Structure 1
């Protein structure tokens, strides 16, 4: 017998909700009757998405790498709604190109936002989820299942969040909290479109084997995430074929090492010539994170 509460009875927090997967997820959850709290760095965009989610939706400006600020927001959200039933750790940025050509601070920031930001999200919201016997969904990626040259920061961060979520699942289960991992392949978002603006990265991606070389529509992918949240699934696959990657993932590092090295060698001159264009995170979300850091430095 299914004893899970319907989404219409739940308060769901979504980080990285100003655009892309987070914004679409908030809208779809709201259509199912959930009360959604949207977190991110872009207050104007967050308010616009919240307005699309109905009168019970709220928006909260928060940096997931700022544990103190994030914990304060978590307390305010719980005070506002009285409870928090589910949290989706979705906030993330990406950086492309060879690791040795990258800016170390920008590379480290991907790890900080994607991995340590997810840790901070868990720290801030797990007390409320323990009270409600709720659900934490960590958004990972195809990048957690397979390595990819020119994406080392993103792959490292997403492999890290996958391992983190699997690890804490056993730690919080006795409190009635369920933990899931969501996997997405290339999905039509600002982040992916931003990466595709780089001609060399787009060429590299086109050389991936099918079906990993396609860009998938956003809405069906998010429908699968919503269904996973409703079921409080341990694994949620935004594209159905990703499930089939699990049994063969152990083969992929050796395969990528051989095939990927050839492709990188062919593109090396172009990569070197365009290295200066890859010193910041891609897409509008990456630009927002860069602006946020600049403001904090100026005010610090």
Structure 2
């Protein structure tokens, strides 16, 4: 796949999980991944250590990436977190941080990159979730943030059509560290079948590599036995 099809790609959350898999897939496709994460990304790619809950810091990090690389060709917003538990029990700061990272951080990075993306006629891939369509108990923060990502992405696609490409990625459960540290009741069951993040990342590269004028508007990528879809 030619590198010109991918270019310089900001990947939020690229230090682990789906984000790390996307960064590797972009590299393998000939592109240049740049990781934005609270932790340093892999040593084989450029990056910025930044708290995506701090929206102004996230915007400044995007500006530095654009300056170093002479522009931005795509953004993939894979950063995400959760705070499980009943709404009246979950710590308020933890609840707010889920919204700040998953939704407001996504918007901040895309907003900051938008002028560069319009110059390059680039692409955005936002990462929602099957829980951006189906609400579950003890997941109010996560559902609120991912429902928000769905609405944000669809509105962005309508607003920027013909200027940039916008894809909404809706993944189901993946075999990552996302579930680590949770109470057992909030972890996938022992018989759960989870997708490999590498397989989901391949669909991101597919969306990024489409020819001009061809858009993959929405992608649902879930295990065949995903309980939250449809």
What does the per-residue CA deviation read over 1:195-218, in whole Å, with 9 as the maximum and x for residues that have no partner? 3xx12223xx549xx9xx532222
Select the residue among 3, 19, 22 that pairs with 1:22.
Answer: 19
The aligned counterpart of 1:221 is 200
Give how far 1:240 is off: 6.9
For 1:201, the equivalent position in structure 2 comes to 186
1:136–1:180 CA contact under 8 A, matched in 2: yes
Aligned residues: 223
**Deviation string for 1:66-102 (max 9, x for gaps)?**
2322222222211211121100011111111111111
* Per-residue CA distance 1:130-187 (angstroms, 9 max, x = gap): 111111111001111211111111011101001001011121224x111111111110
User: Which runs of structure 1 show a deviation greater than 3 angstroms over 4 or more consecutive aligned residues?
Assistant: none
SS of the counterpart of 2:209?
A: helix
> Which of the pair is proportionally richer in helix?
1
**What is the deviation of 1:108?**
1.3
Matches within 5 A, 1:1-300: 5-7=4-6, 10-43=7-40, 46=41, 49-51=42-44, 57-174=45-162, 176-195=163-182, 198-202=183-187, 205-206=188-189, 213-231=192-210, 232-239=215-222
Structure 1: 5+ residue stretches without partners:
52-56, 250-300
Is 1:66–1:120's contact at 8 Å kept on the other side of the alignment? no
> Hey, which of these two has a bigger chunk of strand by percent?
2
Structure 1 residue 194 displacement after superposition: 3.5
**Alignment RMSD:** 2.4
Check whether the contact 1:89–1:139 (CA below 8 A) recurs between aligned residues: yes
Give the secondary structure class of the aligned counterpart of 1:99.
coil
> What is the CA–CA distance in structure 2 between the aligned matches of 1:111 and 1:67, rounded to whole Å?
12
Alpha-carbon distance in 1 for matches of 2:92, 2:65: 35
